[in-house]
Amino acid sequence: MRLDWREIGTWIWRGLGGALAVGGMEIAADLGETPLALVPFATSIVVVMGMPEASPAQPRALVGGHLVSASCGLLLLWLFGPSQVVAAAAVGVAMVAMRLTGTMHPPAAINPIIIVIEQLPATFLLVPIGLGAALLALFAFVWHNLGQRGAWPRRWS
Protein backbone atom coordinates (compact mmCIF):
# COMPACT_ATOMS: atom_id res chain seq x y z
CA MET A 1 0.00 0.00 0.00
CA ARG A 2 1.46 3.31 -1.13
CA LEU A 3 1.09 6.28 1.21
CA ASP A 4 -0.18 9.43 -0.43
CA TRP A 5 1.25 12.14 1.82
CA ARG A 6 -0.93 14.84 0.28
CA GLU A 7 -4.09 12.87 1.07
CA ILE A 8 -2.86 12.15 4.59
CA GLY A 9 -2.21 15.86 5.05
CA THR A 10 -5.72 16.67 3.81
CA TRP A 11 -7.25 14.26 6.32
CA ILE A 12 -5.13 15.61 9.16
CA TRP A 13 -6.30 19.13 8.23
CA ARG A 14 -9.93 17.99 8.10
CA GLY A 15 -9.59 16.11 11.40
CA LEU A 16 -8.06 19.13 13.10
CA GLY A 17 -10.90 21.29 11.78
CA GLY A 18 -13.45 18.77 13.02
CA ALA A 19 -11.87 18.69 16.47
CA LEU A 20 -11.84 22.48 16.67
CA ALA A 21 -15.48 22.66 15.55
CA VAL A 22 -16.56 20.13 18.19
CA GLY A 23 -14.57 22.02 20.81
CA GLY A 24 -16.30 25.23 19.76
CA MET A 25 -19.67 23.48 19.98
CA GLU A 26 -18.86 22.31 23.50
CA ILE A 27 -17.82 25.81 24.58
CA ALA A 28 -20.96 27.35 23.02
CA ALA A 29 -23.14 24.79 24.81
CA ASP A 30 -21.52 25.68 28.14
CA LEU A 31 -21.80 29.43 27.55
CA GLY A 32 -25.41 29.09 26.43
CA GLU A 33 -26.19 26.81 29.34
CA THR A 34 -27.58 24.22 26.93
CA PRO A 35 -26.86 20.58 27.74
CA LEU A 36 -24.43 19.25 25.15
CA ALA A 37 -26.78 16.35 24.42
CA LEU A 38 -29.29 18.89 23.04
CA VAL A 39 -26.83 20.44 20.59
CA PRO A 40 -27.28 18.37 17.40
CA PHE A 41 -24.15 19.22 15.44
CA ALA A 42 -21.52 16.54 16.13
CA THR A 43 -22.44 14.41 13.11
CA SER A 44 -22.94 17.51 10.97
CA ILE A 45 -19.38 18.52 11.82
CA VAL A 46 -18.12 15.10 10.68
CA VAL A 47 -19.98 15.44 7.35
CA VAL A 48 -19.04 19.07 6.65
CA MET A 49 -15.43 18.80 7.78
CA GLY A 50 -14.74 15.23 6.65
CA MET A 51 -16.63 15.12 3.35
CA PRO A 52 -16.82 18.76 2.20
CA GLU A 53 -17.44 17.75 -1.40
CA ALA A 54 -20.61 15.75 -0.59
CA SER A 55 -24.06 17.17 -1.32
CA PRO A 56 -25.21 16.92 2.34
CA ALA A 57 -22.14 18.97 3.34
CA GLN A 58 -23.05 22.00 1.24
CA PRO A 59 -24.41 25.15 2.95
CA ARG A 60 -27.96 24.80 1.66
CA ALA A 61 -28.22 21.24 2.95
CA LEU A 62 -26.44 22.00 6.22
CA VAL A 63 -28.41 25.07 7.26
CA GLY A 64 -31.64 24.27 5.45
CA GLY A 65 -31.68 20.65 6.57
CA HIS A 66 -31.36 21.62 10.21
CA LEU A 67 -34.04 24.32 9.95
CA VAL A 68 -36.48 22.14 8.00
CA SER A 69 -35.96 19.12 10.23
CA ALA A 70 -36.31 21.12 13.45
CA SER A 71 -39.45 22.79 12.10
CA CYS A 72 -40.97 19.38 11.45
CA GLY A 73 -40.22 18.33 15.02
CA LEU A 74 -41.76 21.51 16.41
CA LEU A 75 -44.86 21.15 14.22
CA LEU A 76 -45.52 17.54 15.20
CA LEU A 77 -44.83 18.29 18.86
CA TRP A 78 -47.36 21.14 18.70
CA LEU A 79 -49.96 19.00 16.88
CA PHE A 80 -49.63 15.73 18.80
CA GLY A 81 -47.59 16.30 21.95
CA PRO A 82 -44.52 14.43 23.13
CA SER A 83 -44.11 10.69 22.63
CA GLN A 84 -41.71 8.26 21.04
CA VAL A 85 -44.22 7.60 18.25
CA VAL A 86 -44.48 11.31 17.47
CA ALA A 87 -40.68 11.63 17.52
CA ALA A 88 -40.36 8.76 15.05
CA ALA A 89 -43.08 10.19 12.82
CA ALA A 90 -41.38 13.60 12.93
CA VAL A 91 -38.16 12.06 11.61
CA GLY A 92 -40.08 10.53 8.70
CA VAL A 93 -41.81 13.84 7.96
CA ALA A 94 -38.45 15.63 8.18
CA MET A 95 -36.90 13.22 5.68
CA VAL A 96 -39.65 13.94 3.17
CA ALA A 97 -39.52 17.68 3.83
CA MET A 98 -35.74 17.84 3.41
CA ARG A 99 -36.00 15.91 0.16
CA LEU A 100 -38.76 18.14 -1.17
CA THR A 101 -36.86 21.32 -0.29
CA GLY A 102 -33.50 20.12 -1.60
CA THR A 103 -31.96 20.36 1.86
CA MET A 104 -31.17 16.69 2.61
CA HIS A 105 -28.70 16.63 5.50
CA PRO A 106 -29.01 13.23 7.26
CA PRO A 107 -27.44 14.37 10.56
CA ALA A 108 -30.30 16.89 10.94
CA ALA A 109 -32.73 13.99 11.45
CA ILE A 110 -31.80 14.02 15.14
CA ASN A 111 -33.51 17.39 15.58
CA PRO A 112 -37.12 16.15 15.63
CA ILE A 113 -36.25 13.43 18.14
CA ILE A 114 -34.60 15.89 20.51
CA ILE A 115 -37.38 18.46 20.10
CA VAL A 116 -40.27 16.06 20.61
CA ILE A 117 -38.81 13.98 23.43
CA GLU A 118 -37.44 17.00 25.34
CA GLN A 119 -40.52 19.14 24.54
CA LEU A 120 -38.34 22.03 23.44
CA PRO A 121 -39.72 25.51 22.73
CA ALA A 122 -39.94 27.14 19.31
CA THR A 123 -36.94 29.30 20.22
CA PHE A 124 -34.80 26.16 19.85
CA LEU A 125 -35.21 26.69 16.09
CA LEU A 126 -33.23 29.92 16.32
CA VAL A 127 -30.73 28.98 19.03
CA PRO A 128 -29.05 26.57 18.87
CA ILE A 129 -30.35 25.27 15.50
CA GLY A 130 -30.28 28.29 13.17
CA LEU A 131 -27.35 30.05 14.77
CA GLY A 132 -25.38 26.82 15.21
CA ALA A 133 -25.84 25.73 11.60
CA ALA A 134 -24.89 29.19 10.31
CA LEU A 135 -21.78 29.29 12.52
CA LEU A 136 -20.76 25.80 11.39
CA ALA A 137 -21.15 26.89 7.74
CA LEU A 138 -19.03 29.97 8.41
CA PHE A 139 -16.36 27.93 10.20
CA ALA A 140 -16.29 25.36 7.38
CA PHE A 141 -15.97 28.12 4.78
CA VAL A 142 -13.01 29.71 6.56
CA TRP A 143 -11.31 26.43 7.50
CA HIS A 144 -11.58 24.67 4.16
CA ASN A 145 -10.55 27.77 2.25
CA LEU A 146 -7.51 28.30 4.50
CA GLY A 147 -6.41 24.80 3.52
CA GLN A 148 -7.12 25.23 -0.18
CA ARG A 149 -8.59 28.37 -1.74
CA GLY A 150 -11.99 27.71 -3.30
CA ALA A 151 -12.31 24.33 -1.56
CA TRP A 152 -15.72 24.90 0.03
CA PRO A 153 -18.49 25.08 -0.77
CA ARG A 154 -18.74 23.21 -4.04
CA ARG A 155 -22.02 25.02 -4.59
CA TRP A 156 -24.22 27.39 -2.58
CA SER A 157 -27.58 26.01 -3.63
Question: What are the residue ranges of helices labelled H in 107-157?
Answer: 110-118, 131-147
Residue 155 has pLDDT above 90, yes or no: no
Residue 149 has pLDDT above 90, yes or no: no
Q: What is the pLDDT of residue 1?
A: 65
Mean pLDDT confidence for 86-111: 98
Cβ atoms of residues 131 and 60 within 8 Å: no
* Distance in angstroms (rounded) separating the CA atoms of residues 12 and 49: 11
Enter the pTM of the model.
0.94
Cβ atoms of residues 156 and 57 within 8 Å: no
Q: What is the pLDDT of residue 151?
A: 81
Domain ranges (residues) in the chain? 5-147
State yes or no: cis peptide before 153, omega within 30 of 0: yes
Residue 78 has pLDDT above 70, yes or no: yes
